[in-house]
Amino acid sequence: MKKITSLLAILALPVMGVAQADSQVTVHGQTSLRIDHAQNLSQLVTNPALQTWWPGTVIASRDATVVAQQQQKQLLADLRAWQAGSGESLAATIGSVIHQLSTLQITGRLFTSLDPDWVRLRPEANRTLLGSYDLYTVAPPTQVLVLGALSNPGKESWQPGRTVRDYLAAHDRLSGGERSIATVIAPSGATQQVPIAYWNQRHIEVEPGSVIWLGFTSWSLPWGQADLNARMLSVLTHRIPD
């Protein structure tokens, strides 16, 4: 009897593990709701209550959000310190970038596909959900966000066939701004560096909902903080979509 009891306890372990794989997902967007007990992404993204444009939809864990927001706060502090020790023109550029990044709402984005067909048909993409999450739903976008070390940052209407260089043409490069490379952040959070100078330009179009970011040249960055451009990009990839 003792052996039988022990065997039953062992067999029960996987079942208990599944039961413990539980989640609470708070949905933000046009409709706010909470979805409980989704054990994996497939159960979540196939929920009929969800209405969203999946390529730009963001899921975030609460623990990762705390970390991402701390990183944003530290980045802004480092940018302000750099600004304080810079000349007038560069300080003005840094101030503009600080304003742009400080207005962003940041979340602990999990970089995983939420496309229902992709998740449902590929077991490796159907990640387990455990704990508390936020899901940010979006409508199909019609604009592109142009930001960075440039004049008049903000939203522009997306146009088919328009290249990264075309979007940047209406924005003057500010002091310290990169001359030859811009970075495109797709709605999925994926990044792509795009040559934009007259001598290296490439015909690269962007998806609606993308961000075009112009960073700083490497020589303009403060000593010992060569990673500032990468840190700014990281914050941008964790922004809550509009």
**Pairwise CA distance, residues 167 & 165, whole Å:** 5
Digit-coded pLDDT (tens) for 96-131: 999 999 999 999 999 999 999 999 999 999 999 999
Distance in angstroms between the alpha carbons of the first and the last residue of the chain: 62
Rounded to an integer, the average pLDDT of 188-192 is 96
Q: What percent of the chain has pLDDT over 90?
A: 86
Fold of 23-238: Ubiquitin-like (UB roll) (3.10.20)
Q: Measure the CA–CA gap between 43 and 31, rounded to whole angstroms.
A: 19
The answer to whether residues 154 and 143 touch, using CB atoms and an 8 Å cutoff, is no
CB 150 within 8 A of CB 174: yes
Q: Where are the beta strands (DSSP E) in the chain?
A: 23-28, 33-36, 58-61, 131-136, 143-148, 154-157, 181-185, 191-195, 211-214
Hey, what are 108's tokens?
A: 């602990």
pLDDT confidence band for 75 (50 / 70 / 90): very high
Residue 20 pLDDT > 80:
no
pLDDT band, very low/low/confident/very high, at 19 (cuts 50, 70, 90): very low
Surface-to-core class of residue 215, CB atoms within 10 Å of its CB (0-12 exposed, 13-18 middle, 19+ buried): buried
Residue 198: pLDDT band with limits 50, 70, 90:
confident
